[in-house]
Amino acid sequence: MIRRPLLLASALLAALGLSGCKEEPAAPQAAATPAAESFQWKMVTAWPKNYPGLGTAAERLAERVKTMSNGRLSIKVYAGGELVPPLEVFDAVSRGTAELGHGAAYYWKGKVPAAQFFTAVPFGLSTSEMNAWLSKGGGQALWDEAYAPYGVKPLVVGNTGMQMGGWYNKEINALDDLKGLKIRMPGLGGEVLSRLGATTVNLPGGEVFTALQTNAIDATDWVSPYNDLAFGLHKAAKFYYYPGWQEPQAVLELLINQKALDSLPADLQAILTEAARAASQDMLDDYVYHNALALAELKQQGTLLKRFPDEVLAAMQHESTLVLGELAAQSELNGRIWASMQAFQAQVSQMHQVSEKELYDWR
């Protein structure tokens, strides 16, 4: 009698054990996650290959995008002339020859007159002011509107900061010294000098040194000590003028083919946008640091720094006002852009008058 319950318990445990060993039905397999789509884009630039500050910035942007996207967006960079000429970057992006372009807006003034506002305005906004106008003051929306008919989306991708007045093979002691001068100067600054009697031309950077050295031109602006030293412009002209009245700052732009941009998933669009924002700060830091070193090197090599006479600067400023007013009158859009810039400059100047200007004066 005592053993029967034990036998029954053993049998029950055995049965439970056997039932636990029965094969369970296989769990349904999760659907395979589709591989994320990748994109291979081309970027055409207006700069020589790996040119300091400008060409290298384009390369670093491409590297940054590739890293941030884990390789899903890969960009091959072409120097000016490799795929299209430097001054045809805008057209190449507009027609889809390349998805991206890296250049300066005033290079395309023949196609988009309003573009000139978005590189630099003579005696206009400083670097920090221009960046703030574009990102906070309504400038980006106006820029988008100017380029939309061409299927191009612009973004800030850098700034060289305030530039120099340029390299001259003769001294500018009076306004008459500008008359008959052959000078390379694009954008609104070139129009101002034309009205003061100079003959202006628009040349890509790679042609500037040869033109100056062979006396095809008498003078040129380019950028600032960092880039000017790299081109060896001090070997082709003796006098280095300041201030850079024509470009108190200079925006570099990333041109994006709108259809290509729309084809990207939202995360890659965000990566491209933020990579451009990071590139802007990186370029500005690059120029602030290297300009100081390059200016010291230029002085050591015998470059003569010269300041434009007040008479000449006053005439330049007067003509700049007239040129900008006429550009604004060309179209309703141009008028809105110029009115917006002027209003923003008047607003921020009050703050900078009692802040940055005071600091620079005391330093």
- The neighbour count for residue 306, using CB atoms within 10 Å, is 16
- In contact, 279 and 201? CB cutoff 8 Å: no
Axis-axis angle for helices 55-68, 266-300 (nearest 10): 150
Closest by CA to 236, choosing from 284, 171, 303, 189, is 303
**Binding site per annotation, positions for substrate:** 163, 184, 221, 247
Residues in a beta bridge with 102 = 45, 254
As a whole number of angstroms, the distance between CA 195 and CA 182 comes to 13
Amino acid at 198: A
- In contact, 183 and 201? CB cutoff 8 Å: yes
**Binding site per annotation, positions for Na(+):** 222
**Cα–chain center distance at 25:** 61
**Binding site per annotation, positions:** 163, 184, 221-222, 247
Distances, alpha carbon 91 to alpha carbons 39, 88, 188, in Å = 22, 5, 21
Is omega for the bond preceding 85 within 30 degrees of 0, making it cis?
no
- In contact, 250 and 223? CB cutoff 8 Å: yes
Tokens of 7: 């036998």
- The neighbour count for residue 194, using CB atoms within 10 Å, is 16
Phi/psi for 69 (5° steps) reads: -95, 5
Tokens of 181: 């001068």
Distances, alpha carbon 238 to alpha carbons 171, 298, 337, in Å = 9, 11, 38
Residue 107 DSSP code: G
- In contact, 263 and 139? CB cutoff 8 Å: no
Closest by CA to 145, choosing from 310, 337, 361, 323, is 337
Tokens of 320: 């700049």
